[in-house]
């Protein structure tokens, strides 16, 4: 396969029509120097709640987004606040029409909308100005503005985003999505959201593993379990790489590219969220609702 392969994975169609979008309510954006785009970001409400001995799945990753195009799931994403979704720029090729995109939140089973599922039309897509400028998949970040606001619940909550000064050492990090189980096996019914723990890989080591320092840029971060040969098969392009930081969940990466499940010694490469955090804040602050 080509070296720079966007992680565009399997596509699925929801088995019931889109749900009505929720009624508008005020946006509560916080623009601060903290990791917060919303006052309640990064807080899961699933502690102590179990169903049949396992964590209630709809509350485990409440910021997860399913990006649909033409009715099909094509990418993952994450909730920043009531009106904004963070995802990968390469999910939005030039021949794809904005009005054909839909965003789903509160979705666990990809084939069936649940009690907490909300559907949204897209108002605007903002791709980072460096996308594909210095690297075939560099600057792989996009913001999606919704036409109506998300209603938060225990199953639908925003994620915090990393800042440039955040210490990423010794963090427990996870990737989530509805992607491939392996290079040749797609996710089978009931199409539940997948998760995989991903250790972070030092920048210099990632450059060494790819063989060229120019392949891994400062706006990228690498993760993967080289000992157990785990990579980002379980994720989707645009999906979040999140870590627990001082009891708060923070997004540090966006699933971007890699060599795939057949080459597990090549780590998954993510857009480094902290590199784009100022741009994210500025775009959200300057774009009218």
List active site positions. Answer: 90, 140, 237
Q: Find all residues with CB under 8 Å of 193, minimum gap 6, and list them.
A: 57, 61, 64, 107, 108, 110, 176, 177, 178
- Alpha-carbon distance of 78 to 281, in angstroms, equals 15
Q: Find all residues with CB under 8 Å of 197, minimum gap 6, and list them.
A: 172, 173, 174, 225, 230
């Amino acid at each position: 396969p080509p070296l720079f392969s966007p992680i565009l994975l399997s596509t699925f169609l929801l088995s019931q029509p889109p749900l009505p979008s929720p009624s508008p309510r005020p946006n509560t954006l916080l623009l601060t120097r903290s990791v917060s785009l919303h006052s309640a970001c990064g807080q899961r409400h699933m502690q102590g709640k179990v169903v049949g001995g396992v964590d209630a799945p709809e509350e485990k990753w409440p910021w997860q987004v399913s990006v649909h195009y033409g009715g099909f799931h094509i990418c993952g994403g994450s909730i920043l606040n009531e009106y904004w979704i963070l995802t990968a720029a390469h999910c939005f090729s030039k021949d794809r029409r904005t009005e054909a995109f839909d965003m789903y939140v509160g979705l666990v089973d990809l084939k069936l909308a649940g009690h907490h599922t909300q559907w949204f039309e897209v108002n605007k897509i903002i791709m980072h100005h460096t996308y594909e400028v210095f690297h075939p998949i560099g600057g792989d970040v996009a913001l999606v503005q919704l036409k109506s606001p998300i209603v938060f619940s225990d199953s639908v909550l925003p994620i915090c985003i990393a800042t440039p000064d955040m210490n990423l050492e010794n963090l427990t990090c996870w990737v989530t999505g509805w992607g491939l189980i392996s290079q040749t096996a797609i996710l089978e019914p009931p199409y539940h959201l997948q998760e995989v723990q991903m250790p972070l890989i030092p920048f210099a080591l990632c450059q060494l593993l790819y063989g060229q320092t120019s392949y891994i840029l400062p706006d990228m971060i690498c993760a993967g379990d080289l000992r157990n040969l785990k990579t980002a098969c379980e994720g989707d392009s645009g999906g979040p790489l999140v870590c627990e930081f001082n009891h708060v969940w923070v997004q540090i990466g966006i699933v971007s590219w890699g060599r795939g499940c057949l080459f597990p010694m090549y780590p998954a490469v993510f857009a480094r969220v902290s590199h784009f955090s100022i741009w994210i804040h500025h775009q959200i602050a300057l774009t009218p609702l």
